[in-house]
Amino acid sequence: MIKSKHKTLVLSSLGVALFFTGAFVGRRLEVAKITVPMVQSAQQLLGLNFKPAQLDTALAELTDLRNSYGRLRTAKIGNDVPPALMFNPLPVGFTFEREKEKFKPSSLNKVELPANREDLAFYSVRELAELLKAKKISSVELTQFFLERLKKYNPKLQCVTSFTEELAMQQAKQADAEIKAGKYKGLLHGIPFGVKDLLSTRGYKTTWGAVPFKDQAIEEDATVVVRLREAGAVLVAKMTLGELAMGDVWYGGKTRTPWDIARGSSGSSAGSASAVAAGLLPFAIGTETLGSIVSPSTACGTTGLRPTYGRVSRHGAMALSWSMDKIGPIARTVEDCAIVFNAIYGPDGKDQSVYDAPFNYDAKRNLKKLRIGYLKTDFERDYPTKAQDQATLAALRKAGHELIPIELPKMPVNDLVMTISVEGATAFDEITRNGKVDLMVNQDKNAWPNTFRSARFIPAVEYLQAQRVRYQLIQEMHKMMHQVDVYVSPAFASSNLVITNLTGHPCVVVPNGFNSRNLPTTITFIGKLFGEAELLAFAKEYQDGTDFHKKHPSLNF
């Protein structure tokens, strides 16, 4: 019940801040009596200015609220428990296709084993699938090949948290037996892969890249792991991620890009991108909340797909932000991403945020009918990769596409990033309060420990107001997308990365050149919500006209 306007504002805005007015003694909080001067200090922190008499009226209920916080904290809430409030990425009036069609990959000319066996390291999933199906190589041979490469280069790249060798050999032998018996499951049958170590795997540790969880075992396979196993793929390793899905520093060190091991691979899907770029895996699974597929794919020169929010089940995945986390593949080619996505998308009856929408990929889709946009103002700015991006636009025009100039909504999108802070602080509230967050490697002002503590002072009212602005952003993006089917954006020189992660739009990141230090650069293509089929087909056409994805690091280290 709302008893008074001012009182309600005080309760909702000051409650969190007031809990921290006590002093910690060990792990026990010595709680001071709430007084008017105390509340006056708290409201200054939150930018409020209620009168002393109004604050005095609220003291009893503020005390009751603080007591409620203590009682609620006795509840056992695992990271796998989502909030009752669910994010809805669908704009008003939005509809998606209902009819599911057959997956239609491109056809290949006859694929042969290379004269130099080491060249297999950089074959695409599509090419390796042809070799396996034709029995020119076995899954056991291929699995051993990639395991050996992982073991050889991992000490320098630091891209693996756990090898799953025993499981991998079992799965590879099973794949070979099935293929021999004519029970071919499809393009992933017998293909080795890795998963970011925030996806649970039965029988192996799931460390989340952080010291407080480095010995954690979750005896359940994540839905993505299950679906890839059902497709016949072979899990060979758990890949590094920055601590609790931020950056490239984890409890065991810093994951490196194989293009320059003096540099980190960026994050947080650090190990997945590094291993694929170095030819240690044909593909790996990554996740993105705010750039964690796009950024390491740029640092490592890989191709990545960040699907629409609500496309892939996150069951068995570490939760950082329930309203922004997304799971997608990192691979050599756009079509490899399509092949993997085709195996992992769709409802599983466990993650209630997943929509039942088809993925009707056709490599021969008529792309001339697609309306292609580009962020004109952003491309015209001065930024480090402008030359490479301008070359991309020129290539698209040369291919016969008219590029329609569009502009992103002008809204305070950077202020909405508090969404991750609040939801992340909630997901890891227990280790923040019990002090285990202090065990994490990164402890600077931009690291999770400080963010989790700071987020405790974000009022619930401000968080929900931010979500209302986010709702408006979704509607504005929907209006903009009426003009185009796909649009092109600089990877980082715009607000696109922030906006589309907030709205849930799908993104494909593709290599588009090299900078003056011979490090990879990328371009991003954005599609409509649940429009991965058109998006991937268009990105594939661009990639087929380039050879940047075929270049690979020398690995002379």
What does the block give as tokens for 216?
A: 């954690």
Give the Cα separation of 352 and 366 in Å (integer).
34
Q: HSE on the CB side for 279, CA within 13 Å? A: 19
Buried b (16+ CB within 10 A) or exposed e, 481-503: beebbbbbbbbbbbbbbbbbbbb
51-to-10, 16, 461 alpha-carbon distances in Å = 11, 19, 19
What does the block give as tokens for 82?
A: 């989502």
Q: What angle separates helix 532-544 from helix 334-344, to the nearest 10 degrees? A: 160
What does the block give as tokens for 360?
A: 């009707």
Instruction: Find where tokens 């006859």 sit.
Output: 110
200 in catalytic set: no
Nearest one of 404, 403, 385 to 393, comparing CA atoms: 403
**Residue 17 belongs to what H/E stretch?**
helix 5-19
Task: Choose, from 139, 268, 321, 323, the residue flagged as catalytic.
Answer: 268
Instruction: Find where tokens 């909702």 sit.
Output: 12
**DSSP code of residue 264:** E
Measured in whole angstroms, the distance separating CA 22 from the mean position of its chain's CA atoms is 37
What does the block give as tokens for 301?
A: 């020169």
Give the Cα separation of 337 and 268 in Å (integer).
18
494 in catalytic set: no
The one-letter code for the residue type at 250 is: W
Give the Cα separation of 239 and 72 in Å (integer).
35
Task: Choose, from 138, 196, 238, 494, the residue flagged as catalytic.
Answer: 196
Buried b (16+ CB within 10 A) or exposed e, 320-340: bbbbbbbbbbbbbbbbbbbbb
205 in catalytic set: no
Q: For residue 86, count other CB atoms closer than 10 A to its CB.
A: 11
Give the Cα separation of 280 and 274 in Å (integer).
8
Task: Choose, from 292, 297, 321, 353, the residue flagged as catalytic.
Answer: 292
- CB contact set of 430 (below 8 Å; sequence gap of 6+): 77
Instruction: Find where tokens 């100039």 sit.
Output: 405
- Residues known to be catalytic: 196, 268, 292
